Chains A and B, each alone.
Chain A
């Protein structure tokens, strides 16, 4: 394989992993924009939905698509309930409380997953598992193509949703000013819960797609740590930024694995996060502003 082809191969692999990070970051950005809560429980919703997908396929005998839809529906419903039942109670309290509450929820979900499915890892079979295609001299696993396609579809759907529908414009209004949106007749509380549900559904999509790459395992939640780096890189509250950030982190990770000493691959995302925040305290593409007193 020539150098060019090797580089291209790395880039494609990086883009596939990055697409997952982008998907995860997208879901995080949605709740952050709507409710100003950084959802630390997001990774655990993702992990739980991967387990649900696996459970639906093996124990209920559903085909992949039905299982994926089940996982998406369950994760969306779960996120709706989490917001409507728990997060809504502490609206208006300092952000730190909200962060702690999402951490508490993440512990509970993780514990629940452990109690229901145990510590063993499972394999989730998708229609794309084990196949690969040749694209212009590069061998690409089909699952990677599916991930990139899914990320593109989700981004497009979100774009259309936010730009054209009543729901999306409501989200934009509420994310600019909740009180003003409420006075304009937008049901902000329900809207926030719906945003949580949507982000839960995205978590399920990424969970079901990540599971074939890794294994269905409790530690699947830790992908959210990489997504934080993507989030910071892309500016905290920006959806296009999340996608760009996610893909960049995926690429950086792949290239760090090849060109940097052993061990840098695992922490490259974190190093990027630290560096970016040091140089640009408000994120690379973030809205630059001071804090009002």
Chain B
């Protein structure tokens, strides 16, 4: 066990407080920065896609993990971010400006969709977001003048100071930079009073209200921030796929985002990143695995969907705190090495209160 003895506010505010963490993160940073120099091309693209998935999952985590509002339709914000980016670039905005503006546009849409969250909660909110995503998917397909419809839209090149940064290696660094910025912003957000208000609303709306938190305002704000981050991911996704069609933003994408957040562990930003890495790399891993399987099993259509379901079910049943929870257990095992007790993390029996009228 380790006890922190802070002697100043700066001590308490530091992001990485202990030397093992600093070394680990420095090593991770070095690894990620050096990655493109040694990795084969395929993996560089894969890594960039994973970073984008991380950004989108971080956005959903703010909403579902911290504020406790389930959204089954976050692909809508990905779509809005992506098409906003295309529109802005077509209008002649430079890439470094278009990216945040695209995020902001998605955020505005999020604020709009957050308004129902004041009145609707729980399962009903999940249904509203699901319906919204279906409507957006359909609208994107039909609104030809803006989105190019089902034929798709070509994404203009991303240019930074005149140089094309759409190439594999520069784009990797762009995605990494945006991910780090988004992560830092969210870490500080969730540590500050806004984040605490979010968690308060998640844990008990009535208690939060009693403590003077403006519940409806923060709910809408959570939607806005979440949609903005997810939209940012969408804008990058547009550059990654280079040719955007509406079926990129199907229900499947929404479900995958939810999967990332749940598998990663609700209520932790590290969880969002871990979940996104696992779920993002799963299809590649499965296709690699297929080469090893006998031909009958490898040719199966639907194996991927099945494994997604299996992973999700496994986490919900056996590790509800997700990959992050697993990580914390592992870490405390090493920290307390000979004295680790399994019982530390055994959950008490939970009894959810019924939402029914009695």
Contacts and interface: CB of A to CB of B under 8 A. Distances in A.
Nearest to A265: B138
B358 to A, nearest CB: 7
A100 B262 contact: yes
Given A107-B309, A287-B357, A292-B353, 18 more contacts: A92-B349, A97-B316, A101-B316, A103-B309, A103-B312, A105-B309, A108-B310, A109-B309, A111-B304, A111-B305, A112-B302, A115-B306, A237-B356, A266-B138, A274-B132, A278-B120, A289-B357, A292-B358
Given A93-B352, A278-B120, A111 B127 contact: no
Given A228-B130, A263-B142, A266-B138, A111 B303 contact: yes
Given A95-B355, A110-B305, A267-B135, A232 B127 contact: yes
Contacts of A93: 320, 350, 352
Nearest to B314: A104
Most buried by A among B119, B134, B258: B134
Interface in B243-300: 255, 258, 262, 300
Contacts of B309: 103-111
6 contacts: A95-B122, A100-B258, A114-B301, A114-B303, A273-B127, A278-B128
Interface string A14-48: 00000000000000000000001010000000000
B56 interface: no
B204 interface: yes
A131 interface: no
Interface string A72-97: 00000000000000100110111111
Given A101-B316, A105-B309, A107-B306, A281 B120 contact: yes
Nearest to A89: B317
A235 B292 CA distance: 51
B138 A107 contact: no
A124 interface: no
A293 B206 contact: yes
B75 to A, nearest CB: 14
Contacts of B123: 38, 95, 99, 236
Interface in B122-140: 122-124, 126-128, 130-132, 134-135, 138-139
A119 interface: yes
B161 interface: no
A236 to B, nearest CB: 8
A12 interface: no
Contacts of B258: 100, 103
A97 B64 CA distance: 12
A134 interface: no
B305 A114 contact: yes
Given A107-B306, A114-B302, A277-B128, A293 B204 contact: yes
A177 interface: yes
Contact of B127 (A105, A107, A228, A237): A228
Interface residues of B, number: 51
A111 B302 contact: yes
B128 A110 contact: no
Interface range on chain A (Cβ under 8 Å from partner): 35 or more
B116 interface: yes
Interface of A: 36, 38, 86, 89-90, 92-97, 99-101, 103-115, 118-119, 176-177, 218, 225, 228-229, 232, 236-237, 262-263, 266-267, 270-271, 273-274, 277-278, 281-282, 287, 289, 291-293
Contacts of A89: 317
Contacts of B119: 277-278, 281
Most buried by B among A38, A119, A270, A278: A270
Contacts of B130: 225, 228
B214 to A, nearest CB: 18
A156 B312 CA distance: 38
B354 interface: yes
B134 A267 contact: yes
Contact of A115 (B303, B313, B351, B354): B303
B308 interface: yes
A232 B204 CA distance: 25
4 interchain residue pairs of minimum CB distance? A114-B302, A111-B306, A107-B309, A108-B309
A44 B70 CA distance: 22
Nearest to A229: B131
A236 B127 CA distance: 12
A111 B286 CA distance: 13
B307 interface: yes
A54 to B, nearest CB: 16
Contacts of A99: 70, 123, 126
A115 B355 CA distance: 38
A274 B131 contact: yes
A108 B308 CA distance: 8
A249 B253 CA distance: 26
